[in-house]
Amino acid sequence: MTQQINNREYAAAIRAVISKMFIARGDGHIGGAFSIADVMAVLFNSYLRDAPKDWFVLSKGHAGPAYYACLYLQHKIPEEAIATLNANGTILPSHPDRNLTPGVQCSTGSLGQGISQAVGIAYANKLKQTGANVYCIVGDGELNEGETYEALEFASNKRLSNLIILIDANKKQVDGLIKDVSCDYDYQKLFQGLALAVHKIPGNDVKVIDETLSSILADNDEKCHVIVLDTIKGKGISYFENAENCHHVTFNETELSELTKYVKENEGAVKHVLGNTK
């Protein structure tokens, strides 16, 4: 897809803006917000468009800061809001709220409900023949919810080829490793058993993500596609990548220093993206 900004630079800018939010707040869901920064960069830099109006649903709503960072980089939310994440009266609540944040299309938070909304949105757009695509990011821990499989069954039954589900498979959730809390999923067998088209790819590689999305959109094979993103929780800052648990962190002095360092190193990327998205 055509783009003005390198996707890697866009992803670095997203993580830098997220870091600013967390520095101001003092805590946050850094693990999931960082692990989806690369796919968010590809989506917002290259695929989400205004006409026909595509949809984006962040089913794993606790990764909302990554969504807010993209909206900020697209000049949809003001700079002063960045320091108000999850504060009283903020337009940037803990989970995305379409009634509060400019640019948010779908309110999410309770895990499993975002993907359920996404299949409904995709089905409605298919019936209306709008030509709109729906992109939905789901967490691997979120797959513990039975509701997610009901949604996937519906997507398969209705042949929602306008829906692309992206699973952030970072292998960790709030209370431990996915394989210990739930099970060690064989995503290929699991989703192919539902007659869904499955792609397992390196989830922090913007080039592969871009190529996979482009190929799916070109195929038009009348199937709902699931992209399993093999990601690293906390990707972008090695301190958090190597942490045993970085789902939600109340940042200590060392961790705030890591975030501050990342912001300084990538401030140029933020300015470049902002300057090219006006």
Of 116-120, 125-129, 176-180, least confident by mean pLDDT is: 176-180
Mean pLDDT to the nearest integer, 5-21: 97
Q: Please calculate the CA angle 61-62-68 and round it to the nearest 5 degrees.
A: 75
Instruction: Using the predicted structure, report yes or no on whether residue 52 has a pLDDT greater than 50.
Output: yes
More confident site: 230 or 177: 230
How do residues 231-271 score in pLDDT, each as one tens digit? Answer: 999 999 999 999 999 999 999 999 999 999 999 999 999 99
Instruction: Using the predicted structure, report yes or no on whether residue 28 has a pLDDT greater than 80.
Output: yes
Contact 19, 82 (CB under 8 A): no
Instruction: Using the predicted structure, report yes or no on whether residue 2 has a pLDDT greater than 50.
Output: no
pLDDT at 176: 85
pLDDT at 88: 95
Average pLDDT, the chain: 94
Q: What is the rounded CA–CA span in Å between residue 70 and residue 268?
A: 16
pLDDT at 252: 97
CA-based nearest residue to 29, from 83, 71, 73, 66: 66
pLDDT confidence band for 50 (50 / 70 / 90): low
Instruction: Using the predicted structure, report yes or no on whether residue 85 has a pLDDT greater than 90.
Output: yes
Q: What angle do helix axes 7-25 and 253-275 make, rounded to 10 degrees?
A: 130
pLDDT at 89: 95
Instruction: Using the predicted structure, report yes or no on whether residue 10 has a pLDDT greater than 90.
Output: yes
The string of DSSP letters for 67-91 reads: HHHHHHHTTSS-GGGGGGTT-TT-S
For the entire predicted model, the pTM comes to 0.95
Of 173-182, 198-207, 219-228, least confident by mean pLDDT is: 173-182
CA-based nearest residue to 195, from 137, 154, 141: 154
Kindly provide the residue ranges of all beta strands, DSSP E only, lying in the chain, ordered along the sequence: 27-28, 55-58, 134-139, 163-169, 172-173, 176-177, 197-202, 225-230, 249-250
Q: Report helix, strand or coil for 219.
A: helix
Q: Report helix, strand or coil for 138.
A: strand
Residue 89 φ then ψ, to 5°? 80, 5
pLDDT confidence band for 3 (50 / 70 / 90): low
CA-based nearest residue to 78, from 109, 105, 103: 103
In terms of Cβ atoms closer than 10 Å to its own Cβ (0-12, 13-18, 19+), residue 16 is: buried
Q: Report helix, strand or coil for 109.
A: coil
Q: What is the rounded CA–CA span in Å between residue 195 and residue 212?
A: 19
Of 6-10, 49-53, 65-69, least confident by mean pLDDT is: 49-53
Q: Please calculate the CA angle 52-54-56 and round it to the nearest 5 degrees.
A: 170
Choosing among 3.30.43.10, 3.40.50.970, 3.30.565.10, 1.10.10.10, the CATH entry for 7-276 is 3.40.50.970
Instruction: Kindly tell me the number of DSSP H helices and DSSP E strands found in the chain.
Output: 11, 9
Contact 96, 61 (CB under 8 A): yes
